[in-house]
Structure 1
Amino acid sequence: MTAPEQALPKAARLLLVEDDEDDYILTSGYLQELPSYCFEIVWADSPQQALTRLSEESFDICLLDFQLGAENGLSVLTQAQQQGLSTPIIMLTGQADDALDLAALQAGATDFLVKHELGSPRFQRAIRYALARKEIEQERVERLKAEDGSRAKDRFLAHLSHEIRTPLTSILGYTELLLESDYAEQAETELGIILSNGKHLLSLLNDVLDLSKLSANRLELKIAPVHLDSFIADVFSLLKIMALDKGLSFSVVGLQALPLIIHTDATRLRQVLINITYNAIKFTEQGSVQVEVWTEQNNHQELLHFSVTDTGVGIADDQIERIFQPFEQLQDVVTRTEGGAGLGLAISAELVAHMGGEIQVASELNVGSKFTLSINPGDIKDSERAELRFERSPLRNRQTLKPCLHGKVLVVDDIDEIRRLTGHLIQSTGAEVAYASNGQEVVTLFEQNPQDIDLVLMDLHMPVLDGRSALKQLRRQGWAVPVVAVTAATQKGLHRQLTELGFNDILPKPINKPSLYRALAQYLRPAEAFAPVQKKVLLVEDDPDTRLLMDMLLTDLGLSVDCVGSALDCLQKLEADSEYDGLLMDMGLPDMPGAKLIKLVHSVCPALPICIVSGSELTTEQLTEYGAQAYLLKPVSRDDLASLLNKF
């Protein structure tokens, strides 16, 4: 056995401030004799030159003579401190002087030495101590920089999440509303594509956020019961279309009877399966992609397995490990014809590990690949089992799951369209809605008039006063009203932090209807004892397309609607039935000016609220002059109508 090699001396850059050349040569000699260090010595012979070099260059240590001609080293120390220079400085003096030593330390010197101590053990200790302090300081600075960088990244990702999820909330929410409408039957396929692609866009955002959470160990799985057959049908139906578009054979096979219910994070499992299967389709130009599903006992736990086999380009053995590294795009390994973020497989491997399983790959170049993954499906020992039937969850007619509720909900969000969308979903259950755009409005509302609020849905990130601060003020004032936090953040431990702060629950953004309905049902009263009377409105519009659209939107909002196309028909309707709750009318009718019609309506139904539907904006004075209570600017949206109804 050979003797261990002697450690190499550490390199260090040293500034020696000395106006006497003989002393410079003598000190340099002592420094070169130090066994543990190899010094690069830079000489400065005046205070000005010393400060210039210290400010413009990087040094590990500085030896500073006290007496520098007519000046002394204390002025250098003082100015170095004022300029924020961090190089450790040791003061050299000609003779021992306690007062001088104290002054040097107070001025910022790391240590002081009498020149006759050069070469002594004390000299060596002082040098080592000063350099050690420098290293510690550098480590501290680097650690602070890393922490600042991490905080900046977290702030950026939180901002990115908020900015992208806000429009996605509208895209997904309004598409789902259309899917519920009977009038959307002919466009169900197209709406389903919009919904699927909107969710895919959300998944791209989630990929970036997931990578950050996984690296920081902040990912939190949401385990819940999952109907396996429906889950598989939903996941692979969209992927089947992609495969068929490329002329590929695509199949999903259950190798045995599978449990009807498993317990896992459905969102994360879906993410993994789509990532792996999408890659198989993307890199297969001809042939087939086959997915197989089965369970298998592993020690004391029965695992659920999925395999995805393709006849694509394959992966070389020495490249397989690379595909699970972040930002290592699969096309860099096998082809450059496809795009991608290079995050899917890396995230998939981490997610599967979090779900109690692993991913294995077998591949042969130009033959194909087989990805096999397993997850822990929970305790499925006694679960009922059946062959796959591929029964998809229906997109439409989900309103049967909607609860019928009574109560009043305050929706707090600084984004107007998010407020309105959330309000529409709440109103569809029969509950009333009030709105606020920031936390201060909430506090003011409760201070002045709580208006019998039964539940508050509070966004966390708002101007003027954020959700957390608003909640603290409400609780300090003694309000025990349930408050549910609405947030795009999903980091680990957030639920515990917010409940400890006083929130009753959390709704993630984008808000999905099942989660919202569950929260509403928990805090509002069932509506059986509060059967609402359906409101009835009369719509006067001569354009048939506009009339049909507004009829659809008003009906979807839960109103009974009668439609007419002229002023004369309007008056005949009101004379036959005056029990309308409101009138919406176009001003440009073919048989009568709108202003004249309003006067005649007032003569028949003096208390009937009237809303003008106009192609131009109207002032409050004009509304008063016409005798109307509100106006809507064309084109009229569902949001506009819902806001009008809520106002009345």
Structure 2
Amino acid sequence: MANTGMKRILMIDDDEDDFFLVNALLQDISPDQYLLEWASSYQKGIIAIESMQHDLYLVDYRLGGFTGIDVLKHFRQLGINAPVILFTGKGDYRIDKEAMEAGASDYLVKSEINAALLERAIRYTLDKYAHLSAIAKSEKRYFSIFEKSNDLILLVDAAQRIIAANPAALRLLGYDDATLYSFHLQDLFATEEEGARFAAQPLSAFNTQHKEYLFRNRQQQLLEVTMSVSLLDEKKELYLCLIQDVTAQKQKAREKQQHEKFAITGRIARVVAHEVRNPLTNILLATSQLKMEPVAETEDAVLYLDIMERNCTRINQLVTELLQSTKMVELTMQEQNLHTMIHKAIQMAADRMQLHNMRLEYKLANHSPIIWADEEKLLIALLNIIINGIEAMEPGKGVLEIETTIDNNKVLLRITDNGSGISAENLGKLFEPFFTSKTKGTGLGLTATQNIILNHKGTINVKSAPGEGTSFFVTFPLLC
């Protein structure tokens, strides 16, 4: 359709005299601004319409066996929202109303048309059409962004009630429209406390800042997100929430940090082992030599030499365990059924579980996950996690949950206890060599566990809080 220079107008009217009259009026008031073309029947008008060469249409209501309403219906069938001015007879108010409902931009009473009225109607209709076209184009562009965006987009009112959500939000949060639209923003947060803190502030206070939050979807999965809030409509007090799911990014960053930290720990362990073992070997040799000397025959000398020897041997054992727990282990990999390995690890810990009089709950996936693993090494890792959970729980009240879920090409294993939990300070040190909160133990069990899982191209993460128990999350690549 033309949109620059002279505006092309199609007049559909079976009266040639009316065409000449309208053309003369236009030339009188706006010469060289409009080019008026004529279609003398409904059929010719339809053919001209389908060429899409005109900026505006003047249509007479009476067109032989057809009416101007039929022309408007044809536009609708074509999916075209065109600027149409309908010519009607005097006093045909029912027709005027019908025309506007059918999509006419305006109507003029034929017997009352003059140059100024005609020019004004045409100019206003063209301006209105251009304005509506710009709005429609803008709405289409924003609707496309809303519909196709991979980020979550929520529209909320001043009370933080969700009133619209794009497909990405519905998909990731796992709710249908009706359920989600009954929620307030605070209902999406992982904890009631965080949701309440968010709800206590007016949305205007956020000022488009990107902040990190923890959401929980319908499947109870935790989602790490960043969210910005901006005012969309001041009069209606509507706010737009743009939410990015950064769970995968955060997880990758943690995995990278985990691997780097473990590599550094291994290098430090090798340096410490080298520096400690050399003088330790000399002390042990000297102790052995002294035992063979006459001075060693006295009772005190034998006692002290035995103490020296035992402690040197103990130090040597700790150094060996440190090296074993932090070096890249050699694995004999085979296809293994993870569920079978879980049951074996549980059987190995059966005596401890019975002694603690604890309950075991399984929530295993219907599909048995097959992974690539060294059975002996991975059993050690699983057993270490299970034993930690058992020892953290109060005898007679303990519940150990073991759950597996399949997610694309990975299997997620969750081992949860309802024990005493771990403080945030200690949580960050959990996999560090020699760190332990137990009265007995070397603090190398979880270091070795992390080593084994990382060597299986897996990941291990822990979530815990004092008094709320502890959950170990372990993932492995899935074979089938």
Normalised by the size of structure 2, how large is the TM-score? 0.38
Bigger Rg, which one: 2
